[in-house]
Chains A and B, each alone.
Chain A
Amino acid sequence: MPPLTMSEKILAKASGNESVRPGQIVDGSVDLLYMHEMLAMALIPFGEIGTAKVWDPTKIVVTLDHWVPPPTPEIAKMHQTIRDFCRRQGIQRFHDVGDHGIVHQLIAERGYAHPWDLVIGSDSHTNMVGALGAFAAGIGATDTAAVMATGRLWLRVPETIRVDVRGTLGRCTGAKDVILKVIGTTGDDGARYAAVEFAGPTVGALPMNERFVLCNMTTEMGAKVGMIAADETTKRYLAHNGIPFRPISSDDGATFAKSFAFDVDGMGPQVACPSNPANLKPVEEVQGTKIDVAFLGSCTNARIEDLRIAAELLKGEKVAPGVRFQITPASQIIYRQALEEGLIEIFMDAGATFTSSTCGPCFGGHLGTLAGDEVCISSTNRNYPGRMGSPQAQVYLASPWTVTASAIHGEITDPRKV
């Protein structure tokens, strides 16, 4: 049998084939389907398909994350529809408002996805879950309905692009800076339809929270999935759920369509400038740019480790006058951790706003959107025109260090100088 990449192995397993090759169309059996409010859109085609029941309620996870709590009566109604559907269908793993989280984070922290799984999510940043060694791809509403009805999805086996990272990350520099650098090099369609696999000593040494950042933003390279071999770090992260751990990695001699090598020794903080995630500049070239808003949130960078970074920089400091600094944790579990660790007090003392977990500000939905003349630095993942509010607003993407340092100084700031 020819040597295979991780994504090829999982698609071979999911489609009952001994082996698969890039370009082949396979019919995959889905191990986990997860959804947020897109479920409401998917109910229209699901109703038209006409199977009364979902294929397997134990393989479905649903949470509410985009509009939490619901900002309009219409969205409150949408939540009711989803709540009723989950009850009627016997979907036990429905995480309602109060028990919610941004779905990718919730899937990871609750141990719902595992190495070797074919995971399908109704959101483009499903790629994040590939950091656990799963094949995790995002889809839209009609595909979601199809999986709900049949438990299967056709997939084209992607070519794999390998991204090797070596070198030691410097002070106030992390996975966000690495992935911004990668996207800045490949472009925002540099991995269109492909699987991106991260490897190399720097990646091997990263903790899970940072691995999630890398895979999360493979979406901004156009990738179908982002993956990292499941190793001892993955095993420790998943240890709490009691499911036997099975490592996965690409075979020696597996075929990669392209390979990139990055040496991050000496690399400083990176910033993606308006209005494309690939519009990259080192922080030195944009420092001094005045900001109105700083946002620390989203599935990309709002885990407890990110909040600790913000607290460390904010302790004894104040958010610059005229700047609103909003911190929105990626889940309720992280919210509680922040509370227990005393981080929320630090945020409040500094004059930052701390909110319940939601995707709201990242996609310009609610709970902190941008006016046309506002400039924002954000720990999120996309900065296309109109992404976070007005199409005229300017959004810079950066790490939690750079976002927090900029909030304190009222302008884009190199966090190494704080």
Chain B
Amino acid sequence: MLREFRGRVWTFGDDVSTDHIIAGKYLGTTDAKVFAAHAFEAVDPTWSSKVQPGDVIVAGDNFGCGSSREQAPVALKTLGISGILANSFARIFFRNAINLGFPVLECPGLRAKVQPGDVIEVDMARGEVRIPHGQVMRFTALPPNVLEILEAGGLVAKIRSDLSTKRP
């Protein structure tokens, strides 16, 4: 994952559920392209064709609530979203994203400070977000064990590396 990234903002409100992100009817496959093609269809049927690689999602409270379906962060990561910054995250979505090496950061109050289309810069390790007009907002950085998984590129890479150091 990129420790630092810069991207165009898409905004969402509170309580965005995994049902919003990818509907149950599309889960009968393991093909990530299917999940990506139908991402956020319940909100805007054309969203997946408008989003560009590198874009950033900024949302309100409780992002990713509901089902444990990992297809939700898989869909957004596959579209090339560089990260999600929300006032708060639902716990399973948060874990799933980190496990995929997909940056997520709790940024309480950020949603109110940005508009759709703004370009922001994020430093994950420091927990800093530079919003338009040069203002820098500071948030609690990820805990060390979580940052470690993210920096390894996800949980699979982390476990592979742990297992290989155990087996000399």
Contacts and interface: CB of A to CB of B under 8 A. Distances in A.
Interface stretch (B87-95, B117-125, B126-134): B87-95
Contact of B95 (A41, A123, A143): A143
Interface in A330-369: 363-366, 369
Contact of A142 (B20, B143, B154): B154
Interface residues of A, number: 50
Interface string A171-193: 00000000000000000110011
Given A67-B28, A189-B15, A386-B20, A140 B62 contact: no
A74 B163 CA distance: 34
B42 interface: yes
A192 B156 contact: no
A74 B28 contact: yes
15 contacts: A49-B159, A50-B160, A138-B68, A140-B95, A146-B159, A149-B159, A192-B90, A363-B27, A365-B27, A366-B25, A385-B19, A386-B20, A386-B23, A391-B41, A391-B42
B64 to A, nearest CB: 10
Q: Give me the 6 closest cross-chain CB pairs, A-B, nearest first.
A: A140-B70, A142-B99, A363-B24, A140-B96, A391-B42, A189-B62
A44 interface: yes
B71 interface: yes
Interface in A370-388: 382, 384-387
A385 B92 contact: no
Given A188-B65, A224-B91, A387-B24, 14 more contacts: A25-B143, A67-B28, A139-B95, A140-B99, A145-B156, A146-B99, A146-B155, A150-B159, A189-B65, A192-B91, A222-B62, A382-B67, A387-B19, A391-B43
A385 B65 contact: no
Given A50-B160, A382-B17, A387-B24, A222 B91 contact: yes
Contact of A365 (B28, B30, B43): B28
A166 B143 CA distance: 39
B28 A276 contact: no
B160 to A, nearest CB: 6
B109 interface: no
Interface string B146-160: 000000001110011
B145 to A, nearest CB: 5
B6 interface: no
By secondary structure, the A interface counts as loop
Given A75-B28, A139-B92, A385-B20, A222 B65 contact: yes
A113 to B, nearest CB: 18
A391 B62 CA distance: 20
Interface in A52-71: 66-67, 71
A120 to B, nearest CB: 11
A337 to B, nearest CB: 28
Q: Which of A75, A145, A222 has the most CB of B within 10 A?
A: A222
Contact of A384 (B17, B27, B68): B17
A234 to B, nearest CB: 25
A90 interface: no
A78 B154 contact: no
Nearest to B32: A44
A189 B88 CA distance: 9
B97 to A, nearest CB: 9
B68 A38 contact: yes
Contacts of B100: 142
B28 A142 contact: no
Contacts of B55: none
